[in-house]
């Protein structure tokens, strides 16, 4: 029998409740959570993550699952519904946390929001790892798909105003374009993905053709398979130093699970 790989237990889930939702675009919804459970919460560095635990179907009370050393499970062995997001804004004076959710017809959180009422309880755990900004860098390149828009927005708010920033975002629909925070040194390129193209494929092509200065720092996030291709291109084909770029898979095409952006 193979040994069960024991993983470090994630942060404990905090009980919070749904306060309101705000439409940011046809494809992006801001979900505001709040309550005493946020007291003492530390937001962490930009582009960090939080896990959102949804109530079990048909159960009005939020059941907190147990960590078994490898994953969270409910008492009956069922896997809980957990999704990972960027904590977009934190207002501890109001005990509120904003999470921006990409709207997919089959996403667990958008489906839940379709029937959830204000006051419905959910769980929040985090924050997870974020992006440590290199204060010595003079140029940054931020790359992602729709799921990365909240993190890219947060990074633009935290990057020094004196640096040059290039942003590349792949979108499936023109109305997925979202106004990003203003940065004096920023240029933005929206990349339209053809209907027949695989998620992330046009982003891979864009990165492969991108002129990247030696001093630039890269942050890249999006669909997992495309992130593997970008990682291979940067670190193997370009032989870029590992410290120069952070590449993160946020979700997997065709698979529901514990992923960013749903």
Q: Which residue has the higher pLDDT, 251 or 156?
A: 156
Burial of 105 (0-12, 13-18, 19+ CB in 10 A): exposed
**Confidence (pTM):** 0.91
Question: Residue 258 pLDDT > 60, yes or no?
Answer: no
Q: Mean pLDDT across the chain, nearest whole number?
A: 91
Q: Are strands 217-223 and 245-251 parallel, antiparallel or unpaired?
A: parallel
Q: Which residue has the higher pLDDT, 244 or 260?
A: 244
Is residue 160 within 8 Å of residue 183, measured between CB atoms?
Answer: no
Helix then strand then coil, % of the chain, to nearest 5: 20, 30, 50
Question: What is the mean pLDDT of the segment spanning 196-200?
Answer: 93
Is residue 86 within 8 Å of residue 97, measured between CB atoms?
Answer: no
Report the helix count and the strand count for the chain, using DSSP H and E: 4, 14
pLDDT on residue 3: 53
Helical (H) or strand (E) element with 140: strand 139-145
Question: What is the mean pLDDT of the segment spanning 81-93?
Answer: 94
Q: Which residue has the higher pLDDT, 153 or 4?
A: 153
Most distant CA pair in the chain, distance: 58
29-70 pLDDT tens trace: 999 999 999 999 988 899 999 999 999 987 878 999 999 888
pLDDT on residue 256: 52
């Amino acid at each position: 029998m193979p040994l069960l790989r024991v993983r470090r237990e994630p942060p404990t889930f905090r009980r919070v409740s749904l306060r309101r939702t705000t439409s940011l675009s046809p494809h992006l919804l801001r979900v505001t959570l709040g309550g005493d459970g946020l007291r003492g919460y530390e937001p962490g560095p930009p582009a960090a993550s939080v896990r959102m635990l949804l109530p079990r179907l048909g159960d009005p009370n939020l059941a907190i699952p147990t960590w078994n050393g490898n994953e969270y499970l409910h008492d009956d062995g069922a896997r809980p519904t957990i999704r990972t997001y960027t904590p977009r804004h934190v207002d501890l004076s109001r005990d509120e946390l904003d999470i921006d959710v990409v709207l997919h017809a089959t996403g667990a959180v958008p489906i839940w929001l379709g029937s959830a009422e204000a006051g419905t309880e959910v769980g929040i755990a985090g924050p997870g790892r974020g992006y440590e900004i290199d204060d010595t860098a003079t140029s940054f390149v931020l790359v992602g798909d729709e799921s990365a828009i909240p993190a890219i927005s947060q990074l633009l708010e935290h990057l020094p105003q004196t640096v040059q920033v290039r942003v590349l975002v792949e979108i499936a629909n023109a109305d997925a374009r979202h106004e990003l925070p203003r940065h004096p040194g920023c240029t933005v390129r929206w990349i339209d993905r053809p209907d027949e193209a695989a998620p992330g494929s046009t982003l891979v092509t864009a990165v492969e053709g991108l002129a990247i200065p030696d001093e630039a720092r890269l942050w890249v996030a999006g669909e997992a398979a495309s992130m593997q291709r970008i990682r291979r291109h940067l670190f193997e084909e370009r032989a870029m130093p590992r410290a120069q770029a952070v590449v993160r898979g946020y979700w997997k095409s065709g698979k529901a699970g514990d992923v960013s952006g749903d």
